[in-house]
Amino acid sequence: MKNGIGLFLFLTVFAACEKNNPVSEEKPVVSSGVFILNQGRQGENNSGISYYDFKTGTVTFDLMDGKLGDTGQDMIIYGSKLYVSVHGSSVINVIDLKTAESVKIIPVEDDEAHPRGPRYLTSYGGKVYASTYDGNVIRIDTATLAIEKTTAVGPNPEGIAAANGKLYVANTNGLDFPNFDNTLSVVDIATFTETKKITVGRNPNCVAADAYGDIYLSYKGNYADIPSGMQKIDTKTDEVTDITGISAGENFTVVDDILYYFDVVYNSDGTTSCTYGRYNVKTEQKVPGEIISDETKINTAYAIGVDPENKDVYISDMKPDKIYVFDAGGIFKETVNAGIFACKFVFYYD
Amino acid sequence: MLEKYFYYLSFLTTGLWSASVLPAQELPDTAKTYLLSGVEVKASVPSPFNANAPLQILPSGVLSKTGALQVADAVKFFSGVQVRDYGGIGGLKTVSIRGLSANYSGVLYDGIPVFDCQTGQIDLGRFSLDNVLTLVLQTGETGDLLQPAYKRGFAGVLNIITQNRWKNPEKKTELKATFKTGSFGLVNPSFYVGRMLNNTFFVRFSSEYLKSNGNYPFSQIYGFSDSTIRKRRKNSDVELYKLESNIFGNFSNGGQLSGKAYYYRSDRGIPGPAIYYSDYSGERVKDETAFLQAAYSHRLSRAADFRANAKFNFSAIDYSDLIYKDKQRACLYYQRQYFLNMTVRYRISEQLSVSWANDGIYGNFESSFSGAFHTRMTYLSALTGKYEHPVFILTGSLLHNLTDDENRAGSAFVNRLHWSPYLGVSIKPVENIPVRFRAYYKNTYRFPTLGDLYLSPVPTLNLQPENADQYNLGLTFAASPGGRISTVSFSGDIYRINVENKLVALPRSSMFIWSVQNFGRTETRGFDLNLKMQFQFQPEFSVRLSGAYTCQKVLDKTGETSPAYNQQLAYTPQHSATAYLLLEMPRLDVNYTFIYCGKRNYTGIDRPEYWMKPYTDQGLILQKTVRRHDCLFVFTAECLNVFDRQYEVVRSYPMSGRSFRLGIKFVY
């Protein structure tokens, strides 16, 4: 019997001495730096925002202390706040830039309390807009931080961009994979109703506006016989032009006059290869030279961001999770450890 | 192609050889005793402490006293095992052995494999413990040569044994009825009847029904903050029933036959993860499994015997998810498997025996989602030899696997071969000292499942099989010192496992799009300790004590620049322990169970942000047995998670706090 008691004591001691509560770091004072949205993994409530301060050079692993929610999708700055669409939790989390505290968590639900699933964000004329995966666009008043209005677009919309008094929303019909949609919904901002659908490439995904009244769009194809591609929409005429020689199937971002894009090819042997490039939206020409000009190899690129001041390029790798920083000349500068699946970079200078 | 014919040939030859020996057989001397004792349905299980490879047993006397409702609950008491438990009765529960994925754990139901060709993982939450006699977990080969080759492909095999021989030939009928009820609307009746038809055949029939709303309360803790709210699980109801019939034949020529028909149906909600700021859950599943299986074993001569197994399995899953108000995703999945096995054993001399096992498994998988229809043919062949010397036992085997897919919609996974060797030795150096040393090397592997290959929206067909090499060194001790200590036994094993070409699913930058890739390498070092003691204080007062402890470091060795490099794999605690204490007293049996799981991370990156807290889960089970003539009544009261600990086994899937159950069992 003595042995038995001994074993129990041993186990109890084990149980007692191994209590390890994660200790979150002190919140930094936000000045100039980059906010990195970590998507996290679906169902794990582990989305977060890392912050890399340019002055101190420190990285805060999660400004939100693990409370952001499940599956962060997109993040923009509007006014003095960060707006984060959190898809799994179906909320827009509005965060004060300076204090990094959540100001409001806006549930994005329909009248029967079904989650709508917010996706991508944009802002225009004092309002913030988000596409929702149930086939709508919501409008958030930035003063009251409430959803004012909802309007229907196509099925399972992803990217959203605003230009010339109109919203352009990429309809994917992704829930009916592989029967993807091939339209962009055009929503008149004044009346907040969809006015038409423009036919574009199969499975449109990422949209962004430049400074010259054009919308750039990348479509992913059907992952089989229909390839990915890139198009431009003139917002005056809503005319669609194909841009060839650019492989932006995965994602892109427009900073000043340069469109930075990348694509990932999934090879049949299970490996991946990534390609990157730049396109000048003013001259409408490919920019010579490479985003990565040295030997640095990224396994599976997931997101791209560009520092508007010094034009440093940030590329996240998801296999494994790591962020690579390159200078404007394409030379590797450093890596930043953020959270899981870094999916958006937002730069801020005060 | 050539290999395929080889397999047809080997099937044929094992069959023909058996047939040719058949007429020349002699009747075994033991025919009479066979008749008297009824059918020995399963191969006899050696004692864990004499086994030449790690073997753990939960006998019937213990199973009913652990407060376990499902096989998954009971398996937690084995060392080296982690049950990935998503909580609730309807929740998925898979078992991981020694830090390997659930695909390395095989499950046998009365000696015949349970299949799932979609995921390759068996949900142990779907097997109730009602009517289960014994659970046996085996890692390495214990030296029973009359086994299907299928079994040798796994790192560990759990055998769920429901049947035994007919206990008392004087008694022609067996009856059992149970009723359980408890927290969260649990209603669980079951009924069993067995009948000895004649000297050759007996039949058994059992049925079970279970219903629970499963809406247990839990605390949602937001991140690392103190803000917590109390919620209840939603959409967690489950209703199921199970029917099972068995027939046994024990022929005068020494042949033994067993057949089983099984049907299971459930309708349940899938509560999903407990998401921050959202309560919504719209997934439901109805599933159905039916199988027929039969085994026949026969002694051909003094030197040769064989066993043949056959199974047909059908399962259907009707899945629906109301994602948005007007958007429901629904899908039907069907699986069918045909399994045929023949194993022949031949005793060459007193010391040396060999066996040759050949299995053929045809499986197909169909889904309404993309109209997919995939088939897989697996041919397995194992040659095994055992040499028994008074001092040592040597076991060696070589398994060959050939897998061949067909994909109606497009290209298929190309033919794959795998050779898998095993070598084990067990030594008892001194005859009078009950200490035995054992060591083994085993290669196991996992082929990408049909789900891995074809359900991923962007299929990767050139995947390599994941490969695992296991090394084990152990020591066992068993003694009956006499006096108050009736038995004491101990076993300790240290092990090392290297896994290469791990198969992982990685998401892509769109919703619902992912792809499976070979990515990664892991290295495991660990040890398992088991201690069991039995005390007899008075004729009617005995104490059983069991403790198991596992320590393992399962390190990710993928890419030196990765933040996960050299860190403990997700959901793998370094320390875990279980124990039970059973007090069998004249008036009342008092049983206590204890489960401890140490700190672990859930992402594979060992940062405090990703740690999950250690937990303990303790149970108290009271049992009162009343005998009236030939009848037995057992009353049970169970308090589970006595200290109401809030914990998660899987991130975002809270487990139930304190709950209660009451049960009554009638046995004739």
The answer to whether the Cβ–Cβ distance between A250 and B509 falls below 8 Å is: yes
Could you tell me if residue A11 is inside a domain?
no
Closest Cα to residue B98, out of B57, B53, B156, B153?
A: B156
More confident of the two residues B168 and B58: B58
The answer to whether the Cβ–Cβ distance between A66 and B510 falls below 8 Å is: no
Contact list in A for residue B577 (CB cut-off 8 A) is: 11, 14
Q: Tell me the C-alpha distance between A35 and A52, whole Å.
A: 7
Question: What pLDDT is attached to residue A267?
Answer: 74
Tell me what percent of chain B is helix, strand and coil, each rounded to the nearest 5.
10, 55, 35
Of all residues in chain B, the percent with pLDDT exceeding 90 is: 61
More confident of the two residues B190 and B457: B190
> Is B460 at the interface with chain A, CB within 8 A?
yes
Q: Tell me the C-alpha distance between A268 and A277, whole Å.
A: 24
pLDDT in tens, B22-54: 333 333 333 322 332 333 333 344 566 667 788
Ranges under pLDDT 50 in chain A? 1-24
Beta bridge partners of B159: B108, B136
Total domains, chain A = 1
Structural contact between residues B473 and B494, judged by C-beta atoms closer than 8 angstroms: yes
Looking at the predicted structure, is the pLDDT value of residue B281 above 70? yes
Alpha carbon B551 to its chain's center: 21
Task: Give B75-99 as a DSSP string.
Answer: HTTSTTEEEEE-SSSSS-EEEEETT
Looking at the predicted structure, is the pLDDT value of residue B511 above 60? no
Question: What pLDDT is attached to residue B47?
Answer: 67
Q: In whole numbers, what is the pLDDT of chain B averaged over residues?
A: 87
Other residues' Cβ atoms within 10 Å of the Cβ of residue A238: 16
The answer to whether the Cβ–Cβ distance between B322 and A114 falls below 8 Å is: yes
Alpha carbon B22 to its chain's center: 35
pLDDT in tens, B304-320: 999 999 999 999 999 99
Beta bridge partners of B81: B97
The answer to whether the Cβ–Cβ distance between B609 and A66 falls below 8 Å is: yes
**Separation of first and last alpha carbons in chain B:** 56
The region, left, alpha or beta by phi > 0 then psi within -120 to 50, assigned to residue B111 is left
How many cross-chain Cβ pairs, A to B, lie less than 8 Å apart?
Answer: 210
Closest Cα to residue B605, out of A205, A337, A235?
A: A337
Q: Six-digit token pair at B507?
A: 């998401």
Q: How confident is the model at residue B292 (pLDDT cuts 50, 70, 90)?
A: very high
Residues A160, A199, B329: CA angle, nearest 5 degrees: 70
Closest Cα to residue B468, out of B437, B446, B488, B450?
A: B446
The DSSP symbol for B452 reads: I
The DSSP symbol for B453 reads: I
Of all residues in chain B, the percent with pLDDT exceeding 70 is: 90
Q: What is the CATH number of the domain that holds A136?
A: 2.130.10.10
Could you tell me if residue A248 is inside a domain?
yes
Torsion, Cα B216 B222 B227 B230, to 10 degrees, reads: -10
Positive or negative: CA dihedral A278, A280, A285, A287: negative
Could you tell me if residue A2 is inside a domain?
no
Structural contact between residues B529 and B549, judged by C-beta atoms closer than 8 angstroms: yes
Q: Where in chain B are the domains?
A: 46-172+183-618+644-656
Looking at the predicted structure, is the pLDDT value of residue B608 above 70? yes
Closest Cα to residue A130, out of A160, A89, A152, A171?
A: A160
Could you tell me if residue A268 is inside a domain?
yes
Taking the domain B46-172+183-618+644-656, which CATH number applies? Answer: 2.40.170.20
Q: Tell me the C-alpha distance between B62 and B66, whole Å.
A: 7
Q: Tell me the C-alpha distance between A275 and B601, whole Å.
A: 34
Alpha carbon B65 to its chain's center: 19
Question: What pLDDT is attached to residue B584?
Answer: 93
Contact list in A for residue B274 (CB cut-off 8 A) is: 45
Strand order in the sheet with A102-107: A72-78, A81-86, A91-96, A102-107
Q: Which domain holds residue A86?
A: 23-349
Min distance B129 CA to chain A CA atoms (Å): 27
Closest Cα to residue A217, out of A192, A191, A242?
A: A242
Contact list in B for residue A45 (CB cut-off 8 A) is: 223, 273-276, 651-652
Q: Six-digit token pair at A270?
A: 């299970």
pLDDT in tens, B202-231: 999 999 999 999 999 999 999 887 788 999
Contact list in B for residue A302 (CB cut-off 8 A) is: 509
Structural contact between residues B594 and B618, judged by C-beta atoms closer than 8 angstroms: yes
Contact list in A for residue B547 (CB cut-off 8 A) is: 4, 7, 11
Structural contact between residues B76 and B578, judged by C-beta atoms closer than 8 angstroms: yes
Name the E strands within B539-605.
541-556, 575-584, 589-597, 600-601
> Is B201 at the interface with chain A, CB within 8 A?
no
Structural contact between residues A308 and A347, judged by C-beta atoms closer than 8 angstroms: yes
Question: What pLDDT is attached to residue B509?
Answer: 52
Question: What pLDDT is attached to residue A270?
Answer: 64
Contact list in B for residue A68 (CB cut-off 8 A) is: 223
Q: Six-digit token pair at B133?
A: 């006699």
Q: Six-digit token pair at B192?
A: 């069993």
Question: What pLDDT is attached to residue B544?
Answer: 94
Could you tell me if residue A13 is inside a domain?
no
> What is residue A11's three-state secondary structure?
helix
Q: Which amino acid is at B54?
A: P
Q: How confident is the model at residue B9 (pLDDT cuts 50, 70, 90)?
A: low
Q: Tell me the C-alpha distance between B2 and B402, whole Å.
A: 11
Q: Tell me the C-alpha distance between B45 and B549, whole Å.
A: 23
The answer to whether the Cβ–Cβ distance between A88 and B278 falls below 8 Å is: yes
Q: Tell me the C-alpha distance between A313 and B617, whole Å.
A: 49
Q: Tell me the C-alpha distance between B658 and B654, whole Å.
A: 13
Min distance B66 CA to chain A CA atoms (Å): 17
The DSSP symbol for B585 reads: -
Could you tell me if residue A1 is inside a domain?
no
Q: Six-digit token pair at A221?
A: 């194809």
Query: Residue holding tokens 């899937």?
Result: B653
Min distance B635 CA to chain A CA atoms (Å): 28
Report the residue from A66, A89, A272 with minimal CB separation from B275: A89
Please classify residue B628 by burial: count the beta carbons closer than 10 Å to its beta carbon, then call 0-12 exposed, 13-18 middle and 19+ buried.
exposed
Looking at the predicted structure, is the pLDDT value of residue B412 above 90? no
Min distance B34 CA to chain A CA atoms (Å): 41
A-contacting residues in B 642-661 (Cβ below 8 Å): 651-652
Q: Tell me the C-alpha distance between B375 and B369, whole Å.
A: 16
Global pTM value:
0.88
The continuous run of DSSP H or E covering B198 comes out as none
> Is B232 at the interface with chain A, CB within 8 A?
no
Question: What pLDDT is attached to residue B38?
Answer: 31
Q: Tell me the C-alpha distance between A263 and B509, whole Å.
A: 11
Contact list in B for residue A115 (CB cut-off 8 A) is: 278, 280, 324
The answer to whether the Cβ–Cβ distance between B280 and A270 falls below 8 Å is: no
Mean per-residue pLDDT for B379-400? 94
pLDDT in tens, B178-194: 999 999 999 999 999 99
Residues B387, B388, B392: CA angle, nearest 5 degrees: 105
